């Protein structure tokens, strides 16, 4: 391996820049040529590929977003699109890839390896934390911190007005951000896709808390919940608690931005170096993750399978603390 291409794809996450920088720096350390593939797989198809030098990665570690930009590519889903992308890679002589993104992005890397034999290593870059083979994905910690800071602010106004707030957090189909931000902000209840909570139970809980004269109630709702988003749940609850002043806040994309936390900087840096060293050791079609603070390489096919779920113990703790 002499020339490695790096790309970010799918939803951006804080720490992606730190991961790119670490991979590129490690590449230089091992005397490799490093290429930036802009706008993910879309840029690979459009030949938006440039050789990187150390100036490209100066002062990016501390910045949110991804300077390589990101996109979700429909064309890459087709064999013709992938062939175009492969031809462009070869025209630059790129012989290996580091792909930073979520499950869709890693699936792309897996397919590309299978079809063209291009050695590829994935790094888990998503705020959702929904990849197996790593305790935490790059960006998850920052997103939880951002959500908690926002909820703390909502708490101030909720307390001043004795209000009930429903706050919706991101996470796609997973409840990791919700459970983490909910425990960290003393939520009255946390609704996640992994555990069903009937509306009647939620209403009962809120009634008990009202009797206990709690001055504010904040319910965290994961966006992927089966009973609907925060607005729908609030609507249903209002029918049972008409006397309550209910408000809804959807945190949305603010959870994706901002400077990465110290944890995400360290995680991204370790995994960026691991990606290059892994490729040089012949570890292909795998995702580098961190488990118990040790780098672990997991086959991409295994990492993208949805078998990582919110820890039951976290759910138990949340329940105890919200009574
Ligand atoms: O996967 C990251 C994520 O932010 C999810 O939490 C969310 O469901 C989705 O991306 C939003 O995607 P988009 O930015 O394309 O609307």
Question: Which candidate in 128, 130, 141, 285 is catalytic?
Answer: 128
Res. 273 pLDDT band, cuts 50 70 90: very high
Q: Tell me the β-bridge partners of 53.
A: none
With beta carbons less than 8 A apart as the criterion, state whether 179 and 195 touch.
Answer: no
Ligand 1 atom nearest to 177, measured from its CA: 6
End-to-end alpha carbon distance in the chain:
57
300 vs 317: CA distance, rounded Å:
32
Ligand 1 atom nearest to 127, measured from its CA: 2
Summarize pLDDT for 106-125 with one digit per residue, the tens: 999 999 999 999 999 999 99
Sign of the C-alpha dihedral, residues 69, 74, 76, 81? negative
pLDDT at 213: 87
Task: Give the Å distance between the CA of 303 and the centre of ligand 1.
Answer: 19
Examine the residue annotation and report whether 264 is marked as an active-site residue of this protein: no
Task: Give the Å distance between the CA of 105 and the centre of ligand 1.
Answer: 13
ipTM score assigned to the predicted complex: 0.98
Pocket of ligand 1 (CB under 6 A): 11, 102, 126-128, 170-172, 223, 256
264 vs 266: CA distance, rounded Å:
5
Q: Can you spell out the DSSP letters for 191-249?
A: E-TTS---HHHHHHHHHHHHHTT-S-EEEEEETT-TT--HHHHHHHHHHH-TTS-EEEE
Residues 6+ apart with CB under 8 A from 11: 70, 101, 102, 126, 127, 256
pTM above 0.95, yes or no: yes
Mutational test site, ligand 1, from 66, 128, 176, max ligand atoms within 8 Å of CB: 128
Task: Give the Å distance between the CA of 11 and the centre of ligand 1.
Answer: 6
Res. 245 pLDDT band, cuts 50 70 90: very high
Summarize pLDDT for 167-203 with one digit per residue, the tens: 999 999 999 999 999 999 999 999 999 999 999 999 9
């Amino acid at each position: 391996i002499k020339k490695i291409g790096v790309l970010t794809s799918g939803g951006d996450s804080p720490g992606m820049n730190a991961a790119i920088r670490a991979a590129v720096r490690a590449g230089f350390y091992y005397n490799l040529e490093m290429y930036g593939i802009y706008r993910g797989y879309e840029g690979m198809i459009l030949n938006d590929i440039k050789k990187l030098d150390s100036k490209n990665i100066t002062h990016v570690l501390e910045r949110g977003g991804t300077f390589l930009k990101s996109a979700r590519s429909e064309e890459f889903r087709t064999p013709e699109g992938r062939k175009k992308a492969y031809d462009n890679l070869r025209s630059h002589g790129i012989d290996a890839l580091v792909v930073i993104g979520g499950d869709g992005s890693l699936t792309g890397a897996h397919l590309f390896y299978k079809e063209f034999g291009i050695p590829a290593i994935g790094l888990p870059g998503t705020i959702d934390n929904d990849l197996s083979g790593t305790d935490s994905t790059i960006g998850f910690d920052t997103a939880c911190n951002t959500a908690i800071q926002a909820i703390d602010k909502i708490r101030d106004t909720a307390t001043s007005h004795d209000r009930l707030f429903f706050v919706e957090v991101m996470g796609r189909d997973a409840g990791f951000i919700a459970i983490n931000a909910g425990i960290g902000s003393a939520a009255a209840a946390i609704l996640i896709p992994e555990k069903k909570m009937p509306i009647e139970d939620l209403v009962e809980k809120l009634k008990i808390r009202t009797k206990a004269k709690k001055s504010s109630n904040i319910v965290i709702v994961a966006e992927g919940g089966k009973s609907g988003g925060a607005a729908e749940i609030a609507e249903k609850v209002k029918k049972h608690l008409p006397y309550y002043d209910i408000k809804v806040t959807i945190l949305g994309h603010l959870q994706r931005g901002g400077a990465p936390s110290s944890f995400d900087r360290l995680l991204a840096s370790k995994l960026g170096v691991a990606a290059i060293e892994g490729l040089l050791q012949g570890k292909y079609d795998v995702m580098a993750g961190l488990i118990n603070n040790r780098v672990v390489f997991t086959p991409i096919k295994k990492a993208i399978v949805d078998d990582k779920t919110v820890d039951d113990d976290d759910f138990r703790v949340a329940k105890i603390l919200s009574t």
